[in-house]
Structure 1
Amino acid sequence: MLETAHNTRTDNRRDLVTEFLGLWLVLAVFLDGWAHINLPGLETFFTPWHAALYSGMLATAAWTAVVIWRNRTPGQPLLQAIPPGYRGTAAGVILFATAGALDLLWHEILGIEVSLDALVSPTHLLLGFSQFLILGTAVRSARAAGLSGELKHTGNRSLTPAAIFAVVLMTGLGAFFLVYCSAFVRPGPTALFVPAPVGTPGRIQSELPVVITLTSYFLTTALIIAPFLLTLSAARRPVRGIVTLLVVAASWLPVVMVGLHPYSISGAAGATIAAVVADVLLARVPGAWLGRPLPAVTAGITVLLWTGQLVAFAVTDAIRWPVSLWLGAVVLSAAVAAGLALLSSCGPVQARGTAASGA
């Protein structure tokens, strides 16, 4: 939600500090996830991993208080002194404290989650939502400044380096909560699959890993393409290196957390190289292509990413899926990306054209 206040001035350095504290939070979350996966027997709330997370939140809370206090003028009510974008930050800090207390109570009564239930625990989801509010600070701040006219001279209506950083961090946090359906942490097409006719005993069980992997391709595609479209709608041009940044956040953080398996390393490396190629190509795309043909652009990015992963699989191991299956996964993922672009461009195309005609 866009926030209003008496002062819509944006301070990119201030927002960068906030986002670097957000990086602390994101890394602490993945560190805690790594500990739960690789160090069995964590049966207490009070661990070094939780200490890293909660100390980061204390630092964020202190910084938020400093930002609000510095923005206050004598005699001004404290609530009115909150800069644009930081009301959500303050709400996130308060929600995190509340969710943390509830999480402690939850663990004392019901115990420590040890598997998939940890990612969907209600208190953990509240903690995650509060972090999304905090990580989104620079996006809200830059958007407020953009609509007030302060960013028009940059050519980016509502985009700053801090806002780009924020989008990448939110992608990383999303990758954490969706790690169980990430295309970067599964053997995927390197796992042997022999198609069986309908009615064959055990067919459903043999197809289940493939079904999960196909779903992971679609969701991971959305996790990367949705924030790409967000930055594109704000900047009107692809941000330099944005695909690479998003792929790194969506792939390498989960890959490290689950334990650096050879197949996940090679797949993430292949997708990252493909992302670099995509960014180089995007830098050469004419501006006209980023209007109505945008679905072709996002579909092309997706084809590059998953082809890069498949090539890495083939070079380092082998692709054991039938060609119809792995090629179909790429095509369907590209369709998901194109669909997201089509939905995002339904309304704004006319708005951009109107803005251009009135300029």
Structure 2
Amino acid sequence: MKTASSLLHSNQGRANVRPWFEWSIAFFSTWFVLGLYLDGWAHANELPDSFFTPWHAFLYSGFLGAAIILVGSFLRARLRGASLRQALPVGYNLSLLGVGLFLLGGVGDMLWHIFFGIEANLEALYSPTHLLLAASGFLLVTGGLRSAWWHVTTTRGASFLVVLSLTLALSILTFFTSEFHPFDHPWAWVGYRPAATPFVASLTTHSTPALLDAGGTSQDIAEVVGVSSILLQSALLMALLLLTIRRFGTRLPFGWLTFLLGVNGLGMSIFHSTPWVIPVAGIAGLIADALYRWLGPTSPRIVQLRLFAAVVPIILYSLYFLAVFLIGGVWWSIHLWTGGIALAGVVGWFMSLLLVPPATPEPQAEPRPQEDA
């Protein structure tokens, strides 16, 4: 099994990372994700849809720009004698794989539509071919993060590329889970309160869900989906943050969390006109930046890391519910919305246990039994 030091040593023969290469990939990756969100906005607002739309052009031109640079750099290095693994700078082989998978997913999506029809509503996010496109996009935009991961020193420019790459990665995750995101569907807000119509189970088995057995209504379902959305998004956010902190420690600049959360909040606000989430995300990011500087969470400083992991989602969703109160009110009971905030912190804490597990005792040799004289 290769250690980190051996992997670093094996990367020495790779093509050197040139600034123009990394910044070009970052630019077109950003363009690609902007196009993705524009396409989502168009679908959410039920604009006329076809393959030839301005938002599709935005999306695919961003992908095409990144693909040309990656494939061109790869082929040029191969012509100069570089091996397959060393033709691209460290971290970008998976981005090239993402290009190939995106093309495969595009062809697969066309065939899927021919045989099974075009997806609608929630289906559009979770059809297998669209998930393949999502995974390939994730590989494409995280090249800068992987590149910095395998470099011993982190320059200011590299730090920004890490933050940008992380922001794009989070934005892809939140886009494809947007139906389960409190910023997109604020189920606790009075404006989203459904009518208390009973759900009727029409099942062929003798077993019905407990919620329906108890006479559950559409309001109960809205509460279940709303709380589950908070837990899911807390897990996704803290997984990315803690993974980044585990590698880069406290070396990222002040403001990186404000940028990440603010940009993501801006993106999530456009689908169903929820602009009030932008200041929520921005202020939460600013407080998280202050905590990052004050606590200095790193793997060796495990108490500070656990505290950071729990407090950040608590702050985010405390501000979220405060904003919901201010824009009209929360229809959930106090038991539910305060519990949702608390559980967000629990999820963050559990993610810290997963990404930075507690130390285990070193195995000790058992004493050898004494032989009889």
Give me the TM-score of the superposition, normalised by structure 2.
0.80
| Deviations 1:52-94 (CA, angstroms, capped at 9, x unpaired) | 2222222111111333355567344566422222211211111
Residues 275-314 of structure 1 show CA distances to partners (whole Å, capped at 9, x for unaligned) of 2122123222256897221221121111111111112122
Letter matched to residue 134 of structure 1: L
- More RCO (CA 8 Å, sep 6+): 1
2:307 counterpart of 1:296: yes
Look up the match of 1:184.
183
Residue 121 of structure 2 is aligned to residue 115 of structure 1: yes
State, as a whole percentage, how many aligned pairs show the same letter.
29
For residue 31 of structure 1, report the CA deviation from its aligned partner.
Answer: 1.2
More helix by share: 1
Query: What is the one-letter code of the residue matched to 1:231?
Result: T
Are 1:10 and 1:142, in contact at CA under 8 Å, matched by a contact in 2? no
Match of 1:67 in 2: 73
* 1:318 corresponds to: 329
Offset of 1:218 from its aligned partner? Answer: 0.6
Task: Give the Cα separation in 2 of the matches to 1:160 and 1:246.
Answer: 13
For 1:99-135, what per-residue CA distance to the aligned partner results, in whole angstroms no more than 9, with x for missing partners? 1122122224433222100000111111111111111
Distance in 2 (alpha carbons) for counterparts of 1:286 and 1:143:
19
Residue among 21, 33, 43 paired with 2:28:
21
Structure 1 Cα separation of the partners of residues 298 and 61 of structure 2? 47
Q: Secondary structure at the match of 2:150?
A: helix
Work out the CA distance in 1 between the residues paired with 2:21 and 2:307: 37
CA contact (8 A) 2:179 2:185 kept: no
The correspondence for 1:90, drawn from 96, 111, 121, is 96
Structure 2 CA distance, aligned partners of 1:11 and 1:183?
40
Work out whether 1:254 is the aligned partner of 2:265. Answer: no
- 2:40 match: 33
Counterpart of 2:234?
221
Structure 1 contact 223–250 (Cα < 8 Å) conserved: no
Q: Distance in 2 between matches of 1:286 and 1:85?
A: 27
What residue in structure 1 maps to residue 339 of structure 2? 328
**How large is the Cα RMSD of the aligned pairs?**
3.2
1:235 shift after superposition: 1.4
* Number of equivalences: 337
Between the aligned partners of 1:201 and 1:292, the Cα distance in structure 2 is 43
In the alignment, does 2:119 pair up with 1:101? no
Partner of 2:225: 212
Contact 2:194 2:218 in 1 (8 A): no
Q: Does the aligned pair in 1 maintain the 2:245–2:298 contact within 8 Å? A: no
Corresponding residue for residue 355 of structure 1:
none
1:303-347: CA deviation from partner (whole Å, max 9, x where unpaired)? 111111112122222122221111111001110001101222216
AA of the residue aligned to 1:302: P
Matches within 5 A, 1:40-189: 40-42=47-49, 44-69=50-75, 71=77, 74-77=80-83, 80-146=86-152, 151=153, 154=154, 160-189=159-188
Is the Cα–Cα contact under 8 Å of residues 85 and 140 in structure 1 kept in the other structure?
yes
Over 3 Å counting, the alpha-carbon distance change for 1:163 and 1:349 in structure 2 is farther
Q: Name the CA shift for 1:91/1:200 in 2 (closer, same or farther; >3 Å).
A: closer
Q: Is the 1:135–1:169 Cα contact (8 Å) retained in structure 2?
A: yes
* C-alpha spacing 1:215/1:66, structure 2 compared with 1 (3 Å): same
Q: Tell me, what secondary structure is at the counterpart of 2:151?
A: helix
Native 8 Å contact 1:266 1:312 kept in 2: yes
Whole-angstrom distance in 2 between the partners of 1:269 and 1:29: 23
Amino acid at match of 1:91: L
- How far apart are residue 47 of structure 1 and its match? 3.0
Q: Which residue of 1 aligns with 2:364?
A: none
1: CA distance between counterparts of 2:354 and 2:251?
18
Structure 1 distance, partners of 2:63, 2:133, is 11
Q: Which residue of 1 aligns with 2:351?
A: 340
Q: Which runs of 5+ in 1 are unaligned?
A: 351-359
Question: Structure 1 pair 199/187, CA: closer, same or farther in 2 (3 Å)?
Answer: closer
Q: Which SS does the other structure have where 1:82 is aligned?
A: coil
The answer (yes or no) to whether the contact 1:171–1:250 under 8 Å persists in 2 is yes
Contact map agreement 1:29 1:53 (CA 8 A) in 2: yes
Q: How far did 1:48 drift?
A: 3.0
Structure of higher CA gyration radius: 2
* Distance change (3 Å), C-alpha of 1:109 and 1:155: closer
Structure 2, unaligned runs of 5 or more = 199-210, 362-373
> What does residue 280 of structure 1 align with?
290
Assess, with a 3 A threshold, how the Cα gap between structure 1 residues 284 and 12 changes in structure 2: closer, same or farther: farther
